[in-house]
Every structure is written in structure tokens, then in C-alpha cells.
């Protein structure tokens, strides 16, 4: 049977190749004659919906034609109407051409629609529709063939009777084969439907997942852009902080140099004061020796002078000298006391000044170490952030890592700023206190020197 089918196909193919292609008007007229609605514009520019409707109409027309002419071979006109050449006007009608070529074969047990130009997602569904229509058509054909009465006509000719018997046997064999084919296709329908439903469900899930992934990637891309902008801003703030730290460091260094110079001037002033005190001590010692000499001389005069030579006068002079000597002694003792107090104040203030200088150096060293530590931590955080940004792959853990690094970077920058301002305030307060103490000390030294 397959050889006869292939023979009919080859005859029809050669016949189709020799026929000219019809015009849109001829196709339109032929479709109207067979109650198939269409228009010239739709034929010139067919879309998916029109092609589907036309395919259904042609399929029904083909079934009706075969039911009407099952006893006779198809005429050339019918074969031409169902040929591939009839609808191959342009490349835009390639789908119609494939459908018509398939229908022209008239071999419903050997059909394939994998060449139809349909999307992958609904090709299986389209196949199910075509299979269902073909099975329905075969049922009607089998029923019509079984009920046809022309096969039971009485023939007088033995040759005609033999021909009818052979035809009947052939039809019965074909019918039996057709029944088996229908049963196989009916058995395949549930599995095909399940496969189709599974594919549709999988495609829907993939589409939803793809949309979710796209939305997530867009959101992560926007957040990444915001983080990059935030890092740029933090980098600018870091540069400004480094400049500010440099200025404050130079100011502290200058203040330290001024403090060292003030200490040097204080030491020079102390040495000068010690020299002046030594001179004062020498003068006091000389004055004491002079007073002692004067006292011994007065005693000698007392012993040598007689009372009758003017003892009252001498006593009066001796009293005056004694009072002057006592006053001079008191002044010397007061000068010594003030000298000792000044020495104690100088020693105390010098110790306090040295302690404050050491404290200032310690604070400055601590500030430098903290600034260096904060700078190192900030650079490490920036490196980690850049590494996280480089390894960014759109996943949630990368997003969380970047957000964590950005928050850590922001906290470090704020901590650096707060700690630096606090340390600078402390250092400035201590320097101001030290400057005030130096001023008080210099005022005391100046007043003491003026008194001496």
C-alpha cells in the first residue's frame, strides 16, 4: 500500500510542477466556491491567526472531498487544488505551502507537522489538534465506507464481481489497518497530552523564574551602582580627612616645636636667674661679713672708749647701728627665704612642665598610632569592598557582603572622624593649659626678677 501511495505522490508531484502558480484572485475564488472565507489582503499578507483558520478549513474540505470520491482516484483538478504549488506565491506563505504539501499526500498514516513554522512552546499542542482532527476524519471515513451500498451491487459480469470482491477485501484490510492505527493514536493521546502539559508547566516555571532573575539582577545592578557611588563619596571624604589630618599633624608638630623652644627659653631664664641669685647670695654674704666686722669694731670701740668720754653718745650710735644691722639681717633672711621659695617653685613647675611635655608627646604618639591604625583599617575595608565588588555575581550573599562592607566602611569613617576630633580637642586643651602655665610662670619669673 505504501508503494501505491508513493506512486500517487510522485504522479501528483510531477503534475504539480508542470502547473502554473495561480494568482491571489484564483485562490480567493476557489476558497469562496468551497465555502472557505478569505480576502485578497489576508492572502497577500497572511498572519498566524489567518493561517490557522485556513488550515482548519482546508483540512475539512479535504476530508469532505475524500468522502465524496472514495471510489475513484482523485482528479487532476482536486490534486491541483491541494498541491503545494497552489499556495506558494511568496516566501511569506511558506507555512501554507508546507500545510498544503502535507494535505496533498492524502496519506493520513504517514503525516508530520514538525516542519510547520510554529513556536516550540505550542507545537505539541498544535500536533494534538491535527491528530485529533485526522482521527475524527478517519472514523467518519470508516463509517462511510462500511455503510456504502454501492459495493454490494449485483454485477452480471464475473470479472466485475471478482473486481468488486478484491476491492472489498482491500478496503476491509485497509479498514482493519486503519482501526489499529486509530487505536494506537488514541492510546498515544493521553501520554502526548501529559507531555504537553508538563512542557507547558515547565515553560511557565522557567518564564517566571527568568522574570524573577531579571528583576533581581536589575535590582542588584541598581544597588551595586548606588554602592559604587557611596564608595566614591567615602573615598572623597577619606581624601579630605587625610588632608585635614595632615594639616592638624603639621599644627601639632609646630606646637610641639614651639613648646620645645619655650622649654629651652625657660631653661635659659632659669640659668640666668640662678646666676642672679648667686650674685645676690654673694652680695648678702659680703654684707654679712661687713656687718660682722662692723659689730666687732663697735665692741672694740666700746672697750676702748671710757664712759666719761661720751658714753651716751656711743650708746646712741650703737643702738642705731644695731637697729640697722638687725634690719639688714632681716632683709637678708627675707631674701634667702624668697630665694628658697623661688627655687622650690621653679623646681615644681619644671617637673610639672616636663610631665606635661611627656604627656603631650604620649598623646601625640597615641593619636598618630590611632590615625595610622584607622587608616590601615579603612584601606583594608576598601580592598575587601573592591574584591567583593569584583567578584559580584548577582547573588544575595554578594549583595549582603557588599552592604556589610559599605556599612563597615561608613562606621569606620565616622569612628575615625569622631576619634580624631576627640583626640585633637584633648591635645588642643592640653596645649592650651601648658601655654597658660608657661605664661603664668614667665610672669612670676619677671616679677621676681623685678623685685630682686
**What whole-number distance in Å separates Cα of residue 280 and Cα of residue 328?**
14
pLDDT confidence band for 341 (50 / 70 / 90): confident
**What whole-number distance in Å separates Cα of residue 109 and Cα of residue 177?**
10
What sign for the dihedral angle of Cα 191, 192, 193, 194?
positive
Share of the chain above pLDDT 90, in %: 0
Q: Are 277 and 339 in contact (CB under 8 A)?
A: yes
| CB neighbourhood size of 35 (10 A) | 10
Indicate whether 212 pLDDT > 80. Answer: yes
Give every CB contact of residue 381 below 8 A, 6+ residues apart in sequence. Answer: 405, 408, 409, 412
* pLDDT given for residue 218 in this prediction: 85
Mean pLDDT of the chain: 62
Least confident of 100-109, 270-279, 375-384, 395-404: 100-109
Closest by alpha carbon to 418, among 371, 379, 366? Answer: 371
With cell 626678677, the residue in question is: 449
Indicate whether 123 pLDDT > 50. Answer: no
Indicate whether 11 pLDDT > 60. Answer: no
* pLDDT given for residue 199 in this prediction: 72
Query: Which range scores top for mean pLDDT: 106-110, 122-126, 138-142, 285-289?
Result: 285-289
Domains and CATH numbers, the chain: 2-214 (no CATH), 227-451 (1.20.1270)
Cell of 151: 459495493
pLDDT confidence band for 259 (50 / 70 / 90): confident
* pLDDT given for residue 147 in this prediction: 63
Q: Give the H/E segment covering residue 346.
A: helix 311-390
* pLDDT given for residue 330 in this prediction: 75
Least confident of 69-78, 182-191, 391-400: 69-78
Please return the burial class of 16, using the count of CB atoms within 10 Å of its CB with bins 0-12, 13-18 and 19+: buried
Indicate whether 421 pLDDT > 50. Answer: yes
Indicate whether 201 pLDDT > 70. Answer: yes
Indicate whether 422 pLDDT > 60. Answer: yes
pLDDT confidence band for 121 (50 / 70 / 90): very low
Indicate whether 246 pLDDT > 80. Answer: no
HEC sequence for 76-116:
HHHHHHCCCHHHCCCHHHHHHHHHHHHHHHCCCCCCCCCCC
DSSP letter at 156 equals S
What sign for the dihedral angle of Cα 205, 207, 208, 212?
positive
**What whole-number distance in Å separates Cα of residue 291 and Cα of residue 325?**
7
364-417 residue pLDDT tens: 677 677 767 766 766 776 677 667 666 655 556 656 666 676 677 667 667 766
Main-chain phi, psi angles of 185, to 5 degrees: -65, -40
Indicate whether 33 pLDDT > 50. Answer: yes
* pLDDT given for residue 19 in this prediction: 34
pLDDT confidence band for 14 (50 / 70 / 90): very low
Amino acid at each position: 500500500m505504501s508503494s501505491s501511495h508513493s506512486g500517487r505522490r510522485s504522479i501528483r508531484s510531477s503534475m504539480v510542477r508542470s502547473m502554473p502558480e495561480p494568482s491571489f484572485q484564483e485562490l480567493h475564488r476557489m476558497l469562496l466556491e468551497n465555502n472557505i472565507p478569505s480576502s485578497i489582503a489576508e492572502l497577500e499578507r497572511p498572519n498566524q491567526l489567518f493561517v490557522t483558520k485556513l488550515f482548519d478549513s482546508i483540512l475539512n474540505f479535504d476530508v469532505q472531498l475524500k468522502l465524496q470520491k472514495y471510489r475513484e482516484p482523485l482528479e487532476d483538478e482536486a490534486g491541483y487544488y491541494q498541491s503545494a504549488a497552489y499556495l506558494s506565491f511568496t516566501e511569506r506563505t511558506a507555512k501554507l505551502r508546507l500545510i498544503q504539501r502535507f494535505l496533498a499526500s492524502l496519506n493520513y498514516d504517514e503525516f508530520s507537522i514538525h516542519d510547520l513554522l510554529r513556536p516550540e512552546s505550542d507545537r505539541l499542542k498544535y500536533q494534538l489538534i491535527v491528530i485529533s482532527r485526522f482521527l475524527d476524519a478517519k472514523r467518519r471515513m470508516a463509517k462511510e465506507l462500511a455503510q456504502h451500498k454501492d459495493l454490494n451491487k449485483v454485477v452480471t459480469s464475473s470479472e466485475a464481481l471478482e473486481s468488486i470482491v478484491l476491492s472489498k477485501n482491500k478496503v476491509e484490510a485497509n479498514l482493519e489497518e486503519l482501526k489499529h492505527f486509530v487505536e494506537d493514536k488514541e492510546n498515544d493521546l493521553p501520554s502526548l497530552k501529559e507531555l504537553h502539559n508538563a512542557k507547558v508547566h515547565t515553560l511557565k516555571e522557567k518564564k517566571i523564574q527568568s522574570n524573577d532573575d531579571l528583576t533581581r539582577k536589575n535590582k542588584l545592578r541598581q544597588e551595586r551602582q548606588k554602592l559604587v557611588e557611596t564608595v566614591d563619596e567615602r573615598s572623597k571624604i577619606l581624601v579630605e580627612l587625610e588632608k585635614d589630618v595632615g594639616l592638624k599633624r603639621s599644627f601639632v608638630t609646630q606646637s610641639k616645636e614651639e613648646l620645645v623652644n619655650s622649654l629651652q627659653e625657660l631653661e635659659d631664664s632659669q640659668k640666668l636667674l640662678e646666676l642672679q641669685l648667686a650674685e645676690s647670695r654673694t652680695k648678702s654674704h659680703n654684707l654679712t661679713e661687713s656687718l660682722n666686722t662692723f659689730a666687732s669694731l663697735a665692741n672694740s670701740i666700746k672697750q676702748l672708749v671710757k664712759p666719761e668720754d661720751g658714753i651716751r653718745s656711743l650708746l646712741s650710735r650703737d643702738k642705731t647701728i644695731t637697729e640697722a644691722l638687725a634690719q639688714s639681717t632681716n632683709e637678708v633672711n627675707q631674701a634667702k627665704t624668697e630665694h628658697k621659695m623661688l627655687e622650690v617653685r621653679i623646681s615644681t613647675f619644671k617637673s610639672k612642665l616636663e610631665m606635661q611635655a611627656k604627656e603631650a608627646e604620649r598623646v601625640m604618639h597615641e593619636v598618630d598610632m590611632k590615625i595610622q591604625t584607622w587608616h590601615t583599617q579603612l584601606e583594608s575595608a576598601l580592598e575587601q569592598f573592591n574584591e567583593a565588588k569584583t567578584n559580584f555575581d548577582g547573588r544575595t550573599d554578594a549583595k549582603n557582603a557588599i552592604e556589610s562592607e559599605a556599612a563597615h566602611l561608613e562606621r569606620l569613617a565616622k569612628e575615625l572622624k569622631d576619634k580624631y576630633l576627640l583626640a585633637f580637642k584633648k591635645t588642643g586643651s592640653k596645649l592650651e593649659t601648658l601655654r597658660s602655665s608657661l605664661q603664668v610662670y614667665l610672669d612670676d619669673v619677671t616679677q621676681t626678677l623685678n623685685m630682686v
